[in-house]
Every structure is written in C-alpha cells, then in structure tokens.
Amino acid sequence: MSVNLAPMLKEGTKKSHTMAENVGFIKCFLKGVVEKNSYRKLAGNLYFVYSAMEEEMEKLKEHPIVSHIYFPELNRKKNLEQDLQFYYGPNWRSEVALSPAGQTYVQRIREVAATRPELLAAHSYTRYLGDLSGGQILKGIAQKAMNLADGEGTAFYEFEAIADEKEFKNQYRQALNDLPIDAATAQEIVAEANAAFGLNMKMFNELEGNLIVAIGQLLFNTVTRRRNRRNADPGLATAEQ
C-alpha cells in the first residue's frame, strides 16, 4: 500500500521549519548579512552531508523504497566541490573539516542507511526539496552580500540536470506519495524529517559565533531582534513551504 507522504511531510514539519527560520544565522542570511568565512564553513559541512547521503542512496538505489526517490540529477556533491575550490583554493580538501554538529548529522545519515534505509526519504526531502524551492533566491542573496560575480561560489544552487524545477518538484512529491509504505512507516519518516531539521539547526547555531565575531554583536542583535515574518527560504533553512 502507499500513503500520501508528501503532504504529511509538509504539514508535519511546519513547526520545525518555523524554528529553523528563526535561527540567528538564517535570519541574517535572509536579510542579506552573509559573511564569507561563516558561509564557507557551512558549505564545507554540507559537502560532507551530501557526500554521505548521495553515497548511501547510490548503494541503496535498488532498495524497494529508496529506489523510488533515487534521483541522481539532484546530487550536490560535485557542485559543492566547485564552491569549496572557489572559497578555499586548490588545497580545499586539506582545509575543509567537519564541525561537531556536521559530524553528528553525517553519522545519523550513515546509521539510517545501515538500519532503516526507508528513513533516507526524510533526509532527501528535507535537503533536496528545499534546495530546489529556494535556490535561486538564496543564490541572489549570497551574490549580493558577498559581492560575487555570477557563477562564483554559488554552484550549490544550480541544478544543471533539471530543466524545469517546478515540474521536477511535482514529480518528486508524486514519488513520495507512491512509496510502498504503510501509515506507521510514513509517520516514522515525518519524525525523521523533524530530526533532520534539528540536525540542520545545530549546524546553523554553530556558525553564529563566527558570524558575530565578523559582523559584531550589535549588528547581529539588530538583525535578529525582530521575528522575521517572511517565509525563510527553504534552500537554506531546509525543506519546502
């Protein structure tokens, strides 16, 4: 049997999404306060997260559930490699390191893949659908805030293998709805998606200290004081609206 997992995920992660969009690092980003050192650390963490997720999904591409949401055209690893080379230079591989929160995130992906592969649907949804939903807006914010030329340091937001992102998102949601799972498994996937939000928030929280050092406590307080009521762009805060 199958259940309509896509609307369950959207509804079931609303609270987590609101929490994520109110993390100081995200508020600053959405208001155009982006500091290059903090951003490249985030890109480094995401490189390891996506590498783990894409490696595990590749291994499980014949799995009866994972196979339905295995879309290699979504892969971000190579795009992040381009960005890291831009931010760190040719020796980026020796300079990029996982933060403690990033390490916890990667460990969870590995654990899920080894023990409950169907829960990878939660991690895929939380990251990729968000990337597709908000990529171009976030790209524009990053370019303006860090004074980047077009194509510099923003490959993460480009999906060269997807011609129509809106159509692809519909295809992806339909794939979620068609997963051969029961209601109990669907609820577990929603719970895992909320856990994935938490893992992302821990990474964002780690970066606040770097950002405050760079921009100053006063500016940080000014930017984050009021609740940002615009919808956080899901590509950074994760998951879709």
Question: Which residues are known binding-site members for heme b?
Answer: 10, 17, 125, 173
For 226, counting Cβ atoms within 10 Å of its Cβ (0-12 exposed, 13-18 middle, 19+ buried), the class is exposed
Between CA 153 and CA 184 the distance in angstroms is 41
Between CA 212 and CA 234 the distance in angstroms is 23
Residue list for the binding site? 10, 17, 125, 173
From the list 124, 120, 91, 238, the residue with the least C-alpha distance to 185 is 120
Contact assessment for residue 104 and residue 200, using Cβ atoms and an 8 Å cutoff? no
Q: How far apart, in whole angstroms, are the C-alpha atoms of residue 38 and residue 87?
A: 11
Contact 39, 146 (CB under 8 A): yes
Q: Identify the CA nearest to 118 among candidates 194, 7, 192, 199.
A: 192
